[in-house]
């Protein structure tokens, strides 16, 4: 998969946490907002209007599971779900891939595995500023989301 997205920032979407019939859930490389994930469609598709009903149904189920799961894990105040595709259109021949940015947002700071996560942009649009955290903490976040997702 190739993609260009200022929120993803890296060559991949991150670490795979789970997959459904039509979507893959990744833990995003940047954890500026604790629990940030990317939900990518498994097939190449350029716009939301081209999704079929089974893909939307699967997504609906996944949204409920993700929000319930991260509520239990980190108890954020709200979630941003965004589908941007902006950066792909800087190319002359844009080839965007449908993927959602799932961004838990926090009014108060949260401590996890000895790290403090605050949300300096709370109440505003999320900023594509990377926050890279240690590998072992990434793995623990993944496990935490996965554990609750599969309850």
Shortest CB 109 distance to Zn ion, Å: 25
7 binds Zn ion per the rule CB under 5 A: yes
Among 1, 4, 8, 30, indicate the residue that binds Zn ion (CB under 5 A): 8
Give the shortest CB-7-to-Zn ion separation in angstroms. Answer: 4
Which residues ranging from 77 to 96 are in contact with Zn ion (CB under 5 A)?
none
Q: Is 106 in the site for Zn ion (CB under 5 A)?
A: no
27 lines the binding site for Zn ion (CB under 5 A)? no
Closest CB 8 distance from Zn ion, rounded Å = 4
Question: In the beta sheet, which residues pair with residue 25?
Answer: 18, 39
Q: Is 5 an interacting residue with respect to Zn ion (CB under 5 A)? A: yes
Burial group, residue 75, by CB count within 10 angstroms (0-12, 13-18, 19+): exposed
Phi, psi of 94, rounded to the nearest 5 degrees: -65, 140
**Could you write out the DSSP letters of every residue in 58-86?**
HHHHHHHHHHHHHHHHH--SEEEEE---T
CB 102 within 8 A of CB 37: yes
Between residues 39 and 138, which has the closer beta carbon with respect to Zn ion?
Answer: 39
- For Zn ion, the binding residues (CB under 5 A) are 5, 7-8
């Amino acid at each position: 998969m190739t993609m260009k997205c200022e929120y993803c920032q890296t060559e991949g979407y991150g670490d795979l946490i789970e997959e459904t019939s039509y979507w893959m859930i990744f833990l995003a490389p940047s954890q500026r907002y604790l629990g940030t994930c990317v939900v990518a469609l498994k097939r190449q598709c350029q716009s939301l209007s081209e999704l079929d009903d089974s893909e939307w149904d699967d997504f609906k189920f996944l949204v409920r599971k993700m929000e319930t799961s991260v509520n239990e894990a980190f108890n954020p105040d709200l979630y941003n779900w965004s589908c941007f595709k902006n950066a792909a259109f800087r190319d002359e021949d844009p080839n965007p891939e449908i993927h959602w940015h799932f961004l838990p947002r926090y009014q108060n700071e949260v401590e996890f595995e000895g790290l403090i996560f605050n949300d300096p942009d709370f109440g505003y649009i999320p900023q594509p500023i990377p926050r890279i955290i240690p590998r072992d903490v990434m793995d623990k976040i993944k496990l935490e989301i996965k554990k609750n997702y599969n309850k």
